[in-house]
Structure 1
Amino acid sequence: MPTFPESSRNTSCPKRRSSGRSGRRRPSPSRRSTDGIHGRGGGCAGGENAAPLFFLPRGRNRLTAEGRSAFNRFGRGKDHDGTPRGAADPLSAPRARDRVFLLRAGRRRPALSVDRPLLAALPARRGLSETDPCPGRLGAVFLAGARGQGDVPARDDRAGEAGPEGTPLTDHASDNDPRPLAERMRPRTLDEFVGQSHLLGEGSLLRRAIAEDRLFSIIFWGGPGSGKTTLARILAGETRSHFVSFSAVLSGVKEIRAVVEGADRRQREARLKTVLFVDEIHRFNKAQQDAFLPHVESGLITLIGATTENPSFEVIAPLLSRTRVLVLKPFAEEELSLILERALSDRERGLGTLGLGIEPEALAHLAWAADGDARAALNSLEAAVSLAQTGPDGTRRITRANVEEALQKKLLQYDKGGEEHYNLISALHKSLRGSDPDAALYWLGRMLEAGEDPLYIARRMIRFASEDVGNADPRALAVAMDAMQAFHFLGRPEGELALAQAAVYLATAPKSNALYVGYGQVRQAIGRTGTLPVPLHIRNAPTRLMKDLGYGRDYKYAHDYEEAYIPQDYLPDPLAGERFYRPTDRGFEKIIGERMAYWRGLRERHKKKEG
C-alpha cells in the first residue's frame, strides 16, 4: 500500500511550486484555502512530517451529501466494494497524525475528517499512479467521484460517526442533515426498494439488464413519488459505466453537448460507456431532444429519462422509438405503510432514534392520503412527528389527531373493508333508487372524503344503471360508463365531479327493475329445466350435413315480412310462451311496452289467419 512521503517541503506537486521556504508549518484548520482544494503551505506531501490540509474548491459552500457518505463509508472500516477491511490492511489502523481534514470553504471548523491512508488507496481506484506526489490531486479525484461521476458508492452512513474531537457527527439521522426525510430514506439498493414488482421482480427484463450491466435506453413514466429518480440513482450505483445526471429544468443544449463530448472522449480513451439520466425529460423542447437522438442511436449514450407526463405526447417520436417506456405504478397502501414503518424504525437515516410509536389508524390514513406517492407519505409523516407529544409513559406516539393536523384534513370514520364501508355504499345505492339526488350527493361525498376508491363507486353506479334504471332510460348506463372514463382521464380531485354528475343523473332518471327481475327469472328457469336443446329452425346450418339434419329448416327471415315481423317460436318447447321481461310504463320502457303489445297483437292476428 502506498504511503505519503513525510516532509513539509512542497517539492513535487506539478500544480504548485514550493516557495522555497523549508520547515514551513502546516496551517491551522482556520486558515482558508486560496487555490482550490490545496491547503496553503501543505497542499502536497513532499516532506517528512507533512499532514496536509485539503480544502474544497473556492466558491463551494458545502460538501455534497454523496461526498460525505463516501468518506464515511471508507472511514467505517469498509473497502470500496463494501467488504470489511482486514486487520493486516494498512487502512484498518490509521495513525492519529495521519488525520486529514476536509474543510468547508470559509468555515472555521472541520466539516469531515478522513484518514490519510484512505487517500493513499485512491489512485489505483481512479486510474492514477500510486506514487502520485500530490495528495491534493487525489483529494480532487475523490471528491469528483463522490459527486456521482465515478465509482464511489453514494451512501449516507454518517450516523454514529465520530468527528475530529471525538463528538458524534450526528445524534440521530436527521441532526445536521437538512435533507427532508423522504430524501434521506431513498432506497440505495434494489433490495431496499419497495414495490414495482412488475419491473424489478426476479427474472424481469430490467433486473437482468442491471445484473448483467447491459442497460438499455429507458424512459421511466410514473406519477410523483413513484420511484423514478430513486431507480435511476440505484442504476448509477450498479452500473460500471460512467453515470451523468442532470435536470431538464436547469440544463439545455449546451450542457447536452458537453456531456456528448465527454462521452465520446471516454469511449475513445478508455472504452467506457456513458449512462445519462435526465430528470423531467418532458421539459426538453424538440430541439433539445433532437440533440440526444444521434448519440442514443449510435450507442454513445445510454439515456435514462424520467417523466410524469405521457411520453407519447411529450417525447419526440424518433427518440421514443429508440427507448423503452417502463411504467411505474403508484404505490399500494400496503407498500406505503411498509415504507413509513421503515422510516420510523431506521436508526441510521430515519427516525428510529426518536423512539416513536404510531397508531394503526394514523398509519393507515397517512398511506391513504399519499395517494400512491411515497414522497408525500414521508413528508406527511415528518410533519406529524413534529406534532407528536410525549405520553405519560414517556414515549412519543403519533396519533390520529397529529395526522389530521399535519394533513390539514379530518380523518373520517371509515373502514374500507368493514361495516362502515357497506353502510355507506348501501346508503348511496338506496338514495339513488329512492330518487333523492341530495342524499346521493351527500353519501357519495362521504365515501370519497373518507378515502373510498372512486373506481369502486363508479362500478357500483354502473351496476345501478342496469339494475334500477334499466331501459326506463337506456342512456343511464352510458352516463355511468362515461363518468368512469372521465375519472380515469382526469384523476382526483377533478374527476370526482364526473361521478357526482352521474349520481344526480341516476337519481333523477325514471326507475325500472324489470331487467333485473326478468334476468333473475331466467336464471331460475335454467336451474329448473337444465340445458334444453335449441329448436332446429333457429340453429346454425353452415354445412350440407347440418341442413340434411334439419338445422335451420322452416326458419322465417323477419325482414321478408311486413313490418319486419313474423310470429315464430324462439324459446325451447318446454318454455314456449314464457314471459321474462315485463317492461314498466315509466320512461322509455313505456314505449317498449307499447311496441311489445303491438307485436303480440300481430301474433294473435297471424294465428287467427292461419287457423
Structure 2
Amino acid sequence: MRKPLADKLRPNELNEVVGQKHILGNGKILDRILKSGRITNMIFYGPPGVGKTTVANIIAEKSNKKFYKLNATNSNLKDIQQIVSTLDTFEGINGILLYLDEIQNFNKKQQQSLLEFIEDGRITLISSTTENPYHYIFKAILSRSTIFEFKPVEKEDVEIAIDRVVKIINKEEENISIELKQKAKEYIVSASNGDVRKAINALEIAIYSTPPNENYSVIIDLDIAKDSTQTKVIAYDMLGDSHYDILSAFQKSIRGSDVDASLHYLARLIKAGDLISICRRILVIASEDIGLAYPNAITMVKSCVDSSMMLGFPEARIPLAEAVVLLATSPKSNSIVIAIDRALDDLEKKEVGDIPIHIKDAHYSGAKNLNRGVGYKYPHNYKNNYVEQQYLPKNIKGSVYYEYGNNKMERASKEYWHKIKVDNSSLI
C-alpha cells in the first residue's frame, strides 16, 4: 500500500519543519527542550496540518523511551491499560513516551487513568488537539503539562514545503520530472489556508493524475492546480474554537465600525453555511452595540434576517450583507447592555427590598384595604405627562442604571427629559 506523500516525506529533524518559528526556531523553547534531553509533558494545540504530529514524532525519536502512539478517536481505556502493563517490563525500563493525538476525544475518566503515571514520571505524555485545551482537557492534566500553540503556517513556509516535496520527488523518481508552475504553486498554497498537509495532498493529486509529456515531464499548471484542490479549506467547526473565534472577530469588527473586516468575517460564515449563527449574532449586535444610537437598526436587521431565512443560501448572502454594512456604519452605543447588567448585578448583590406600595397592582377588590395603589400619581394627569414619584424600592432608591450615550439620538433624549423635569419641578 502506497503511503500518502505527506507521511512519506514527513520531516525527521526540527530544522526541516516549516513554520512555528516561535517555538521551533533555534534557541526557542522546543528546540531547547529537545537539546536538553529532558522531555516533559506537553500539549500541542492548533489547527490540522501545521506540524503537531511531525514534531511529536521527532521528539519521540530523540528520547530514550519506549514510544507508543494512540489516537483518541479510536482508542479506549483498554489501550491505555495495555501500555501501562509494559511499564514493569524490560521495554519500559527507561519509561514510556505516549503520543496521544486528538486528546479532546478522551472523556474525563480516560484522561484521569494516565494521571498516576504522569505524576511519577513513568509516562511522559505528549498530546495534541485541534480544540482549545482549556475547554476540553482535564485540569489535572493541564496543570502537569506545558501547552504549545501551533499556528497556521505562513504562505512563504508552505511554499518551502511544496518546493521540498518537488525536489525530493525529482531526485527519487527516475521516469518523470515535475515542473510546478509559479501560479499553480501560489494557488495550491493559498487554497491550503495554512495547512501544509492539505497543500501536499493537493500537489500529490496533481502529480499522479497528470500524464507526463513526450519529455517525461509532468507539468502542473494553474488549471491542474485548481482541479486538484477543488475547494479552499476554511477552518470552521460548529462546535469548536474556530466557530467562536470567527463570530467574535465578526462582532468586534462591526462594533469597531470596520465595514470591510465585518464583510470578511461574514463571508467566512457564509462559506461555512452557518446561517443561524449569523442571524443570531447580528440581531444581538443591533441591540448590544448600536442600541439607542440608532433604534431602528434592530427593526431593519430583523427584516434582513427574515428575508435571509426565507431565501436560504446563496441568495441569503445579500440581505445579510445589507444588515452587516448597516450595523458597521451605524453610530454605536452600549448604554443599554450596561444598564441592564447593572440592574441584574444589584439583584445578585443587594437586598433590594419590596416594591413601593403605591405602584403595586390595585386592580382587584380589596386592594385599597391593603393600601395597594394608594397615593399613586397618574403621569398623564400632569403637565408633559410626567410627575416625580418614587418607583424604585426604598433600599435602592436613587440607583442609576441607565446613562445616556454620547450620540445624537441619546443626547436629544437627555435634553428632552432634562427640560421636562426642570419645567415640572418649577410647578412644585
1:182 and 2:3 aligned = no
Counterpart CA distance in 2 for 1:441 and 1:292 is 46
Counterpart position of 1:241: 65
Counterpart CA distance in 2 for 1:362 and 1:218 is 37
SS of 1:178's equivalent in the other structure is coil
Contact 1:356 1:397 in 2 (8 A): yes
SS of 1:262's equivalent in the other structure is coil
SS of 1:225's equivalent in the other structure is coil
Contact 1:473 1:510 in 2 (8 A): no
Counterpart CA distance in 2 for 1:498 and 1:355 is 47
Counterpart position of 1:329: 151
Q: Which has the higher contact order (CA 8 A, sep 6+)?
A: 2
Matches within 5 A, 1:158-557: 178-266=2-90, 270=93, 272-347=94-169, 354-388=176-210, 390=212, 395-409=217-231, 473=294, 503-508=321-326
Q: Which amino acid is 1:229 matched to?
A: T
Counterpart CA distance in 2 for 1:511 and 1:443 is 16
Give deviations 1:159-214, integer Å, cap 9, x for gaps.
xxxxxxxxxxxxxxxxxx60011111111111211111111122222221111110
Report the CA distance between 1:370 and its aligned residue: 1.4
Counterpart CA distance in 1 for 2:182 and 2:296 is 44
Give the direction of change, closer, same or farther, for the CA distance of 1:392–1:471 in structure 2 (3 Å limit).
farther
Please state which structure has a larger fraction of its residues in helix.
2
Give deviations 1:234-283, integer Å, cap 9, x for gaps.
01221122222233344333332232232233499x5x232121222222
SS of 2:87's equivalent in the other structure is helix
Counterpart CA distance in 2 for 1:211 and 1:384 is 38
Report the CA distance between 1:303 and its aligned residue: 0.9
Contact 2:292 2:409 in 1 (8 A): no
Counterpart CA distance in 1 for 2:99 and 2:120 is 17
Contact 1:476 1:506 in 2 (8 A): no
Report the CA distance between 1:366 and its aligned residue: 1.0
Counterpart CA distance in 2 for 1:507 and 1:250 is 45
State the number of aligned residues: 295
Contact 2:270 2:317 in 1 (8 A): no
Give the direction of change, closer, same or farther, for the CA distance of 1:513–1:502 in structure 2 (3 Å limit).
same
TM-score normalised over the length of structure 1: 0.41
Q: Which amino acid is 2:128 matched to?
A: A
Contact 2:177 2:216 in 1 (8 A): no
Counterpart CA distance in 1 for 2:111 and 2:137 is 8
Contact 2:87 2:96 in 1 (8 A): yes
Counterpart CA distance in 1 for 2:109 and 2:266 is 47
Contact 1:330 1:372 in 2 (8 A): yes
C-alpha root-mean-square deviation of aligned residues, in Å? 4.7
Give the direction of change, closer, same or farther, for the CA distance of 1:237–1:506 in structure 2 (3 Å limit).
closer
Give the direction of change, closer, same or farther, for the CA distance of 1:375–1:472 in structure 2 (3 Å limit).
same
Unaligned runs of 5+ in 1: 1-176, 411-431, 450-460, 481-495, 515-562, 564-582, 603-611
Give the direction of change, closer, same or farther, for the CA distance of 1:300–1:506 in structure 2 (3 Å limit).
closer
Q: Which amino acid is 2:72 matched to?
A: A
Unaligned runs of 5+ in 2: 233-253, 272-281, 302-313, 333-387, 389-405, 422-428
TM-score normalised over the length of structure 2: 0.57
Report the CA distance between 1:599 and its aligned residue: 8.6
Counterpart CA distance in 1 for 2:12 and 2:316 is 41
Q: Which has the larger radius of gyration?
A: 1
Give the direction of change, closer, same or farther, for the CA distance of 1:353–1:236 in structure 2 (3 Å limit).
farther
Give the direction of change, closer, same or farther, for the CA distance of 1:384–1:292 in structure 2 (3 Å limit).
same
